[in-house]
Structure 1
């Protein structure tokens, strides 16, 4: 997979602080031939319903369904499905959201952020998610590992797969 930072120079400057959702969608769709999904991050920001405070999971799902059409499944999923998707060679979108989950304390990796899940490792009593962090104002784009168990209260997932 080819990662991307939400602070890359090709992304409109005013979109960068809240472009993690559209960047995640672009990275997930880069798994497929380019003619299937020709949109760049700036187009996705608008088409998916990005705002200065981010992109809701509902908007992500609803608008990706519109862009991809009926030959695709775009749906929320649980950790078991995340593992199946990864095992089948497909990335998954993860959304960290302590604000709208009303989880103010907990030491989560992110307060509010979308990232692609690119792998996982079973650990004793936990699952280490391997993510591609889209970066932040003072944080480069990079591959990271983090605890599912620690972040579970603020995590949700979205899968994107072609229907067979």
Structure 2
């Protein structure tokens, strides 16, 4: 079983992002990619604006702030909330990508190895490889590398993962 949503990725090192923001722009880039997916023809704030609006810092963007500020930005018709992996998979099944944060530092897992130490990415799908869940994420690129989709094993990373769903309110 697997599912993949086609989402246009973005590198946090693109020239349209302020040079001082680039090393810590993964949270705003995640928000930007998600907003562009949910509102393809609507006006989307720039990543530089999102960096300031979401309250990003040089050491990153806390999950609580990402959730609170994105809820404010989207308004009462949308709901942004931390969720568990099964809910994230359900969001993917509904064609809604999910924000994912890898955070080894603030979860105090300093001595273990993970796919990322600290990084916000966009979950665009999932797959099972040899009966093991893998999350498909856009990694937001590098200094000389475009954003790309990566398959990340869930089990060895689950201790440091936080999923954030963004869904329209049902009325």
Task: Give the shorter-chain TM-score range.
Answer: over 0.9
**Which residue of structure 1 aligns with residue 14 of structure 2?**
8
Q: TM-score when scaled to structure 2? A: 0.91
Q: Give the whole-Å Cα distance in 1 for the aligned partners of 2:47 and 2:118.
A: 19
Q: Which moved more, 1:27-36 or 1:105-114?
A: 27-36
The offset of 1:141, in angstroms, is: 1.9
Q: Give the whole-Å Cα distance in 2 for the aligned partners of 1:34 and 1:82.
A: 21
Gaps of 5+ in 1: none
Counterpart among 157, 163, 168 of residue 162 in structure 1 = 168
Q: Does 1:136 align with 2:142?
A: yes
**Which residue of structure 1 aligns with residue 48 of structure 2?**
42
Q: TM-score when scaled to structure 1? A: 0.94
Q: Does 1:146 align with 2:148?
A: no
The offset of 1:136, in angstroms, is: 2.9
The offset of 1:107, in angstroms, is: 1.4
Note if contact 2:92-2:124 (Cα within 8 Å) is conserved in structure 1. Answer: yes
Query: CA RMSD, aligned part only?
Result: 1.4
**Which residue of structure 2 aligns with residue 100 of structure 1?**
106
Note if contact 2:10-2:146 (Cα within 8 Å) is conserved in structure 1. Answer: no
Q: 1:56 to 1:124 in 2, by over 3 A?
A: same
The offset of 1:33, in angstroms, is: 2.5
Q: Does 1:80 align with 2:86?
A: yes
Aligned length: 164
Q: Give the whole-Å Cα distance in 2 for the aligned partners of 1:4 and 1:98.
A: 23
Q: Give the whole-Å Cα distance in 2 for the aligned partners of 1:54 and 1:30.
A: 21
Q: Give the whole-Å Cα distance in 1 for the aligned partners of 2:43 and 2:169.
A: 15
Q: Which moved more, 1:25-34 or 1:93-102?
A: 25-34
Counterpart among 21, 33, 36 of residue 27 in structure 1 = 33
Mapping 1:103-118, distance limit 5 Å: 103-118=109-124
**Which residue of structure 2 aligns with residue 55 of structure 1?**
61
Q: Give the whole-Å Cα distance in 1 for the aligned partners of 2:90 and 2:114.
A: 24
Gaps of 5+ in 2: 1-6
**Which residue of structure 2 aligns with residue 91 of structure 1?**
97
